[in-house]
Amino acid sequence: MNNSLLSRSALLAAVLLSASGCTVHPQGEARERQNAVAAGKVYEKSVAPLAEHPTPDDLVRFALLANADVEQAYWQWRAAIEQVPIDGTQSSSLAISVGTTLNEGAFSADRTVLTAANDPMSDIAFPGKLSAAAQRSLENARAAGLRFRKAQFEMREKVLSAYDDYASNAEMIRLSEENVQLLRATASVTAARSRSGVAGQQDVLKARDDVDLALNDIENMRSQLPVEQAVLNALLSRPPAAAIPRPDSLPPSRSTAYSDEELLDLAARRNPELIALADEIRAKRQDIRLARLQYYPDFDLAASTDLKGITQMFLGEFTIPFFRYEALDAAVAQAQANLRAAEAMRRQTGNDLAARIVDDVATLRDADRQIGLFTQAILPRARQIVALARTAYQSDRTSLLDVLDSQRSLIDVQRLLVTLQITRDKRLIDIEAIDAGTVTVTPY
């Protein structure tokens, strides 16, 4: 085989390889890949141990690194990115064959043919088809990336909400323990009054029942502490019994400077799910483009030469979908229907999120109003009533039972205030999850 033949054979192979093995890389693929790699660096390191007395933000940071659901969403994003070069690459491979004709049991170079062709089982796709398929996959990868962000914000919401339950239960236990002390004092006074003939035996029994029922409520609430701790630990990917210290107080309240209309606007512009659905709509449009490109013929290429380099042959053929037009028409119609369905889904998701924001904001504003009423008026008056009752009792102008009654009323007000604060905090957390953390916090 001479050098000229080798050169021609190499050229034939290169032409066929370039025709059947090229990959389309749409604009934006490299950036999406870089963003994914950067976001995944946290999974290359081991998770640092949780602080001995973690704050709510510490718990969120730990969960975002350790939680398997969030990590799964990340790797789904990475997998979606790898689909771009898969769909953007020709599926046909290069096939090399050698054939010869024997003459009286011998062969010669001029009767031996070297052929390079694409895989006959897979045509070379029309280039525009690769472009549409790769662009579709890129849009789906962007949607997967946004759903990873959505998973992060949802995890933040779950962790903070679970911590709120844990903290509010601990606070309610503290208030109930104060209430038990008052009930015990009431029972003691009632028993003394009964011995002196001022109170009846039924009052003594009722006072003891109040103490026992209050103690039972405390035990019920304490029984929920391990459950709430296990819920938090599940979000943190830790053993159910791993220690999380009982909060000493409720999480500090946070405020938002946005108006109701601005919160709705933020949800429409920043919500990861809405943006992901928009990316998927663009992917559906590429589906329509790809379906229409199926009307274009695919082709096959082959080139051959004898080993002496005397004769070369080139062969090209087109595969026209002559008998498949009805199926291709249906594929276009199907892609258009899928697009309309995706557009309808995005509209409904936007409507549902808007309604959810309105509900959250209405509850948040009402909770703010009630918290203001209780902290500025009702709670100070309840404390004042207790102080006046104590003063009156010291001057023998009222009974100890009246003093204890006023103190119990104060505890009831404090309990209601705890419930309002937790309700408000959970609604604000939900708003932050919908608005992608732009309301009061920076996303982790």
**Which 3 state secondary structure label does DSSP give 18?**
helix
Residues 169, 412: contact at Cβ < 8 Å?
no
68 CB neighbour count, 10 Å cutoff? 8
Count CA atoms closer than 13 A to 359's CA, side-chain side: 10
| pLDDT at res. 206 | 82
Which residues have C-beta within 8 Å of that of residue 292, sequence separation ≥ 6? 332
| pLDDT at res. 443 | 38
* Within-domain flag for 443: no
* Within-domain flag for 441: no
| pLDDT at res. 1 | 46
Residues 20, 103: contact at Cβ < 8 Å?
no
Total structural domains within the chain? 1
| pLDDT at res. 347 | 96
The tens digit of pLDDT for each residue in 64-111 reads: 999 999 999 999 999 999 999 999 988 877 777 787 777 766 777 777
| pLDDT at res. 78 | 97
**Residue ranges making up the domain that contains 405:** 3-434
| pLDDT at res. 439 | 59
Ranges of the chain with pLDDT below 70? 1-21, 104-105, 198-199, 394, 396, 438-444
Which residues have C-beta within 8 Å of that of residue 431, sequence separation ≥ 6? 256, 263, 357, 360, 361, 364, 439
- The CATH number of residue 199's host domain is 1.20.1600.10
Which residues have C-beta within 8 Å of that of residue 235, sequence separation ≥ 6? 63, 67, 155, 158, 159, 162
CA 352/CA 372 separation, integer angstroms: 30
* Within-domain flag for 406: yes
* Within-domain flag for 316: yes
Which tokens in the block code for residue 72? 């799964």
* Within-domain flag for 439: no
| pLDDT at res. 184 | 87
Residues 96, 116: contact at Cβ < 8 Å?
yes
| pLDDT at res. 113 | 81
